[in-house]
Structure 1
Amino acid sequence: MAEDQTSPAASASDLRRMCRRSCSAVLATTAIGHKQVDDGWPVASMVVPAIDLDGAPILLISDLADHTRHLKADARLSMLFTGSDPASNDASRIETDHPRLTLFGRAIPTTSADIRNRYLLANPDAAQYVNFGDFGFYRVAVEAAYWVGGFGKQRRLSGAQFIVDDCQALRESHDDILDHMNTDHLDAIADIVAHQTGHSKQPGWKMKSIDCDGMVLGTDLTGSLPFRIEFPQTVLNPSDARQILVEMSKISRA
């Protein structure tokens, strides 16, 4: 797909990180059997996605929702991400120069335990309703991405350019990496947290998840909120992850 070569453009990893930072997204579907508009109308709704290890959005949605009925009839969708946390001050008003990303894809139903775990890691509150009979998981097969970074800044990517397609080894080793880091290298995690964020080393930071673009860290303390630390480059396998973490640890202790 063509892209504007005259303007600064975000990398694919930058765009995946924008999605990972977003606590919500706007979902656009095509109306089927809607009570207020005719079939074929575009319908927008708010969803709380998670982002899979490779960058694909994951949805947990109810059969009772209009957008789920629409997707069952026509799996095509688009999703708008701004990278904003609704609780943060910068989400109260979206300026015209605020970066935004639209993903185009198809919602694929899945019963994968891995998808379920990824979603609940990102959205632990969903445990309250994840087992309700009307809720189901969907993984979005991304076919295209369109980024606008402000006036004169844009980029268009294919799904193949956006999604990391060769990270199966990292996916299969995900839990082993977490176990290893949280058993043998809590000191390194604490050093990285202190260097990257300014947080104290003391609360007992642990790695909660890892993906191709970064890792989520948190503690077991009540009320403690998890946060991301991005990697300086994309990782595809345990060896890549180890190398990045060793480098980050050395920098944090320098």
Structure 2
Amino acid sequence: MSETRADGPEPRGPARPLPAAEAPFDAVGLARDLLRATRAGALATLDAQGTPFASLVTVATDADGTPLMLLSRLSAHTRNLLADPRCSLLLARTGKGDPLAHPRLTVAGRAAQTAEPRARERFLARHPKAALYADFPDFGFFALAPEAGHLNGGFAKAATLTRDELLLDLAGAEAVVAGERGAVEHMNADHADALALYARDAGERSWRLTGLDPEGMDLIAGERTARVTYPEPVSDMGGLRRALVAMAARAREAPGA
């Protein structure tokens, strides 16, 4: 039989993160933005004794948002993954002030080596300098298949996410995925002015497009990144062109353009 405190109700424990669908903020949008825009993160693997081992890795994403990594078999984290693929990846946005005031996302799942050509293309577009060693025999590309996510968006903003909330469903948008590389090359070669308009709020001018997907575009300027989403998802190249033209027109008409 439980006892009742004379001076009031029992104290409550720490609040648990809400499922993303119940969170009072756009948890899915913020989590996907962190996935796409963060170029490096802390990878936690398990060694032979089951001891957690954390290390720093560079990160890109596949078209659906799956985290991609280029890893060397000479590294402890790679040997750990080859023996036990369970891992988690912490992606954090940095900035001035208290580091814990900025959003961060932990993605838990299993990582495995991939020979998918798109993984190589998207990773090297995001990290061009990695082309210097990507073909070394001890290196390989790994994809982390998410099983769950934990988002901390800052003070009092936490949520848990499912695999389907972390990743973008590509069904019906295969044409965008197939036409991505050609569209990226065309935009970088002929429409640098439009890219600067899309990413104007990020505060740089010399942006390059690294990837396109049905939900948005990924850009880099030196070490800086920007994730720009379309007004609504697109499913074919015609819809993509219309979205990009409309976004550029609105940006040109905005105050201060």
1 CA distance for matches of 2:158 and 2:177?
31
| Residues 203-230 of structure 1 deviation map (CA, whole Å, 9 limit, x = unaligned) | 7x664432344334579xxxx6674350
1:60 is aligned, of 70, 80, 83, to 70
Task: Quote the RMSD (CA, aligned, Å).
Answer: 2.9
Counterpart residue type for residue 231 of structure 1: T
1 CA distance for matches of 2:20 and 2:177?
33
Match of 2:13 in 1: none
2 CA distance for matches of 1:245 and 1:46?
35
Provide the TM-score with structure 2 as the length reference. Answer: 0.78
Match of 2:24 in 1: 8
2 CA distance for matches of 1:5 and 1:231?
20
| Equivalent pair of 1:23/1:49 in contact (CA under 8 Å) | yes
For residue 9 of structure 1, give the secondary structure of its aligned residue in structure 2: coil
Shift of 1:44: 0.9
Provide the TM-score with structure 1 as the length reference. Answer: 0.79
Consecutive unaligned residues in structure 2, runs of 5 or more: 1-16
Match of 1:197 in 2: 200
Match of 2:226 in 1: 228
Match of 1:99 in 2: 103
Change (3 A) 1:161 1:237: farther
Match of 2:46 in 1: 30
Match of 1:87 in 2: none
Match of 2:179 in 1: 173
2 CA distance for matches of 1:191 and 1:131?
34
Match of 2:147 in 1: 143
Change (3 A) 1:109 1:190: same
For residue 190 of structure 1, give the secondary structure of its aligned residue in structure 2: helix
Change (3 A) 1:28 1:200: closer
For residue 126 of structure 1, give the secondary structure of its aligned residue in structure 2: helix
Who wins on radius of gyration, i.e. which is larger? 2
2 CA distance for matches of 1:182 and 1:226?
17
Change (3 A) 1:146 1:133: same
1:215 is aligned, of 208, 214, 217, to 217
Match of 1:237 in 2: 236
Shift of 1:7: 4.9
Same amino acid, percent of matched pairs: 31
Consecutive unaligned residues in structure 1, runs of 5 or more: 33-38, 85-89
Change (3 A) 1:82 1:234: farther
| Residues 108-160 of structure 1 deviation map (CA, whole Å, 9 limit, x = unaligned) | 21112211111100001111111111111111111111101123211111111
Change (3 A) 1:252 1:97: closer
Match of 1:82 in 2: 92
Change (3 A) 1:16 1:165: same
| Equivalent pair of 1:97/1:150 in contact (CA under 8 Å) | yes
Change (3 A) 1:206 1:101: closer
Change (3 A) 1:240 1:108: farther
Change (3 A) 1:218 1:156: closer
Matched, 1:157 2:167: no
Question: Which 10-residue stretch deviates more, 107-116 or 160-169?
Answer: 160-169
